[in-house]
């Protein structure tokens, strides 16, 4: 049989080995791939718990595509490879089943010694990610930094009623985390109720508003937060809701609003927190491509992923 002729043979641009793209850092997982102490990427294409604008289920795909906008040299070294586990198969219409699968996947990755970065997706899934970590490492004293406009500590009735507003209520219900080891950066007024602000303060959570960041600087706020929560912690987890960024730089999120962090402030906080040697996992959530203009939000999210990777051991 004749080999089909490619009418575009020789017309496609060849990859330039002198300018490698960050997308080339992703290496598909295959059985037998060692995971111990390695960065691992896992997509969570689910947005069933988002009450506002659906679309975050397409976030993992958009983030991977946006990596091609960046190089792999961070100014000092070439970034190391990332094991890409692909996207988890999730039950789009069954929140309880989805959260159970997320918790199991998280438990398995942390038990294998991986340092996962989860990309979503519904931020409500973070509660199940931390529950999976608690199941894998029950004696852990975990510290948590969230970058988010919202507290996300809403009450819920059962697993079927979980939403993007419940993850940190669920995280604080685990035995590995306390309010004193939790810091929330980027909190906006007129986006959170008096009731939940009071509840978070009662738990001892360290709250930093967008005004704190504007007045004191992103790096200074992040360093203070770490100094407070890492005193007796064994490990650190970072959770980023892209809606912490202002609508001007991140229109493609589930809960878009004005008055948020600038892209530079987002980068500075993520870089500062990720430089903590005890960081063992992170997530980047709520990128919503159907609402993204010129992939601006996807590119910001991809940049934040690269910031996490740039300060980790090669």
Annotated binding site: 123, 148, 150, 152, 241, 243
**SS3 state at 130:** helix
Look at residues 172, 170, 267, 183 and name the one whose alpha carbon lies nearest to residue 230: 183
Question: DSSP code of 76?
Answer: S
Residue 141 CB: number of other CB atoms within 10 A? 15
DSSP string for 151-169? ------SSGGG--TT-HHH
Alpha-helical segments (H) within 173-259: 194-202, 210-216, 218-229
Residues in the chain: 314
Known binding residues for Mn(2+): 123, 148, 150, 152, 241, 243
Is 177 in contact with 144 (CB distance < 8 Å)? yes
DSSP string for 30-82? -TT---TT-EEEEEE---TT-SS---GGGHHHHHHHHGGGSBSB-SSSBPPPE
In the Cβ-directed half-sphere of 97, how many Cα atoms lie within 13 Å? 7
- The pair of structure tokens assigned to 8 is 């575009």
Reduced to 3 DSSP states, what percent helix, strand and coil does the chain have, rounded to the nearest 5? 35, 20, 40
Distance (Å, whole) CA 235 – CA 277: 9
Distance (Å, whole) CA 29 – CA 43: 13
């Amino acid at each position: 049989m004749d080999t089909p002729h490619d009418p575009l043979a020789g017309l496609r641009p060849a990859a330039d080995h002198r300018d490698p793209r960050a997308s080339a850092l992703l290496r598909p997982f295959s059985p037998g791939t060692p995971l111990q102490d390695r960065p691992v990427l896992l997509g969570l294409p689910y947005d069933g718990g988002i009450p506002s604008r659906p679309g975050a289920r397409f976030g993992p795909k958009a983030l991977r595509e946006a990596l091609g906008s960046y190089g792999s040299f961070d100014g000092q070294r070439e970034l190391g490879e990332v094991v890409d586990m692909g996207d988890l198969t999730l039950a789009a219409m069954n929140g309880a089943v989805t959260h159970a699968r997320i918790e199991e996947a998280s438990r398995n990755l942390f038990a294998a010694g991986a340092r996962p970065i989860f990309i979503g997706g519904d931020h409500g899934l973070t509660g199940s990610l931390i529950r999976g970590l608690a199941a894998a490492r029950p004696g852990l004293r975990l510290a948590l930094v969230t970058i988010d406009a919202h507290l996300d500590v809403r009450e819920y009735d059962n697993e079927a009623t979980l939403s993007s507003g419940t993850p940190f209520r669920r995280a604080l219900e685990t035995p590995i985390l306390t309010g004193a080891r939790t810091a929330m950066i980027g909190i906006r007024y007129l986006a959170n109720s008096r009731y939940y602000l009071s509840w978070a303060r009662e738990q001892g959570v360290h709250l930093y508003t967008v005004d704190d960041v504007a007045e004191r600087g992103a790096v200074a706020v992040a360093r203070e937060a770490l100094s407070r929560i890492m005193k007796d912690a064994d490990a650190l987890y970072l959770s980023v809701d892209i809606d912490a960024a202002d609508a001007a730089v991140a229109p493609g999120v589930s809960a878009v609003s004005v008055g948020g962090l600038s892209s530079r402030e987002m980068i500075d906080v993520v870089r500062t927190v990720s430089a903590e040697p005890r960081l063992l996992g992170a997530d980047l959530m709520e990128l919503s491509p159907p609402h993204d203009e010129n992939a601006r939000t996807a590119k910001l999210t991809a940049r934040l992923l690269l910031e996490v990777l740039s300060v980790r051991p090669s």
